[in-house]
Amino acid sequence: MPKNNPARRNRSATRATLSLVHDVEAPELPGTREWHPQTTSWWADIWASPMAPEFDDSDQHGLFALAVLVDDFWMADKASVRASLSAEIRLQRQCFGLTPIDRRRLQWEIERGEDAEERSQKRKAAAKKAAQEERDEAVDPRSLLQAVQ
């Protein structure tokens, strides 16, 4: 396909800037079991996260299945069971952008507020100043040279 073909685009259909503020309410976890406190905390966190508005109603089924895996992980009493569940959880959560690398793959960016930008600028300025001070204090190797007669 020629480069000048306007039909060819390298845009991602999933690219989005996610807002920290939203009004998505977490659906109730199914009442079919007594959920581990870590699972209920995880459930609340993902629905309060900036990713929640991206979840479609059809995603809830996958998130419920993932919640069962997370709950089984916390309830497991054998390391081998936890290791197996951990691998499956890692695979399933990729679909929902629940980790930084998953969000990067989906090209989701979390909106940065003014405070975050200001902290970032201060941190960069402090690092730049420290590097400059280090260069200023460094001994110039040419100052050690002496003329030999």
Q: By CB neighbour count within 10 A (0-12 exposed, 13-18 middle, 19+ buried), where does 136 fall?
A: exposed
- Give the model confidence (pLDDT) of 92-102 as tens digits: 998 888 888 98
d(C-alpha 89, C-alpha 106), whole Å: 18
Statement: residue 149 has pLDDT above 70: yes
Q: What is the mean pLDDT of the chain?
A: 82
Statement: residue 118 has pLDDT above 70: no
Q: Which two tokens stand for residue 130?
A: 């420290």
- Give the model confidence (pLDDT) of 58-73 as tens digits: 999 999 999 999 999 9
Q: Which of 13-27, 47-61, 79-93 has the lowest mean pLDDT?
A: 13-27
Cβ proximity of 143 and 50 under 8 Å: no
Residue type, 13: A
Residue type, 136: D
∠ CA 97-98-101, rounded to 5°: 70
pTM: 0.65
